Amino acid sequence: MTSTLPSSFSSAAAGAHRGQDVAPDAAPLPVSLRIRERLEVAGVPYLANDNIAEHLGEGELEQLEIEVAGKVRDLLRSLVIDIDRDHNTEETAERVARMYLHEVFKGRYHDQPKIASFPNVKKLDEIYTVGPISVRSACSHHLVPILGNCWIGIKPGERVIGLSKFSRVADWVFSRPHIQEEAVMILADEIERLCEPQGLAILVKAQHYCMKWRGVKEPQTSMVNSVVRGDFRHDPSLKAEFFELVKQQESLLSN
Ligand SMILES: [Zn+2]
């Protein structure tokens, strides 16, 4: 459209034309800005590994998908890729937006999967381990994959959850941009909240593609870290038993 009118006048006129009371220059705020303002007002943190699902309004995730796709399109253009002619990257922006919001970072934007816990009626108190559980995450620094395995050791407390539920909660926690040390702590917090075990141990072994694919390009290096809480922390023999069980589970894998 060509116009010689000042832009404030023309947007007010356009608003009046639609019968709306539009303030001059009032453009709708990007949905991400509306959400961030809401989080700021509420004093809610929204770091890369925080979940913000309960602060998203109806339809906002869909609006975010559109906004993110637009930004990825701009990113591709800034990388001087001819997305208008290149059939391979034509819809990359939409794919990447969907992938971030609903797959690889779904643990930020989607609610925790429903996980029912049950009273520990039999008063089970023997430790058990679950694993390996796949770790699929991304590093906060480069947004490239962190892939590996995780083992969880439990000394049951008042409540118990089904074995498969550990995979579900781990997948939800890991599906965010992370650093491995914090991911393990966040997962431990969630499991404690779900089943209040007397003891909890988590071990994560993962390869960081920011080291394999770029940077120092060390293809074999992995990072191993663990957290031990409750009885696993206070009782060294219990902690040793956990690491022994993990070793056995690992040797099953290589057979
Ligand atoms: Zn990195």
| pLDDT beyond 60 at 19 | no
| pLDDT beyond 90 at 172 | yes
Predicted confidence at residue 24, as pLDDT, reads 59
| Per-residue pLDDT reduced to its tens digit, 21-77 | 555 567 889 999 999 999 999 999 999 999 999 999 999 999 999 999 999 999 999
Alpha carbon of 214 to ligand 1 centroid (Å)? 9
Segment 193-212 shows an average pLDDT of 96
Predicted confidence at residue 255, as pLDDT, reads 61
How far from the centroid of its chain's Cα atoms is residue 186's Cα?
A: 11
| The model's pTM | 0.87
CA angle 206-223-155, nearest 5°? 75
Q: Is 184 exposed, middle or buried (0-12, 13-18, 19+ CB in 10 A)?
A: buried
| pLDDT beyond 80 at 20 | no
How far from the centroid of its chain's Cα atoms is residue 150's Cα?
A: 16
Alpha carbon of 232 to ligand 1 centroid (Å)? 30
Alpha carbon dihedral 160, 163, 168, 173, in 10-degree steps, equals 70
Contacts of 4 by beta carbon, 8 Å cutoff, 6+ apart: none
| 149 close to 134: Cβ distance less than 8 angstroms | yes
Predicted confidence at residue 10, as pLDDT, reads 40
Q: Is 148 exposed, middle or buried (0-12, 13-18, 19+ CB in 10 A)?
A: buried
Predicted confidence at residue 219, as pLDDT, reads 85
| 144 close to 210: Cβ distance less than 8 angstroms | yes
Q: Pick 252 or 96 by higher pLDDT.
A: 96
Instruction: Locate 157 and state its tokens.
Output: 């407390």
| pLDDT beyond 80 at 168 | yes
Alpha carbon of 210 to ligand 1 centroid (Å)? 4
| 157 close to 195: Cβ distance less than 8 angstroms | yes
Segment 228-238 shows an average pLDDT of 96
Alpha carbon of 161 to ligand 1 centroid (Å)? 33
Segment 162-185 shows an average pLDDT of 97
| Per-residue pLDDT reduced to its tens digit, 85-100 | 999 999 999 999 999 9
Percent of the chain exceeding pLDDT 90 equals: 83
Predicted confidence at residue 23, as pLDDT, reads 57
| Per-residue pLDDT reduced to its tens digit, 102-133 | 999 999 999 999 999 999 999 999 999 999 99
Alpha carbon of 156 to ligand 1 centroid (Å)? 35
| pLDDT beyond 60 at 13 | no
Q: Which domains does the chain have, with CATH numbers?
A: 26-109 (1.10.286), 118-254 (3.30.1130.10)
Predicted confidence at residue 7, as pLDDT, reads 41
Alpha carbon of 136 to ligand 1 centroid (Å)? 14
Segment 188-209 shows an average pLDDT of 97
Q: How far apart are CA 35 and CA 148, in angstroms?
A: 33
| 169 close to 112: Cβ distance less than 8 angstroms | yes
Instruction: Locate 81 and state its tokens.
Output: 């890729």
Predicted confidence at residue 27, as pLDDT, reads 80
Instruction: Locate 236 and state its tokens.
Output: 């060294």
Q: How far apart are CA 142 and CA 175, in angstroms?
A: 15
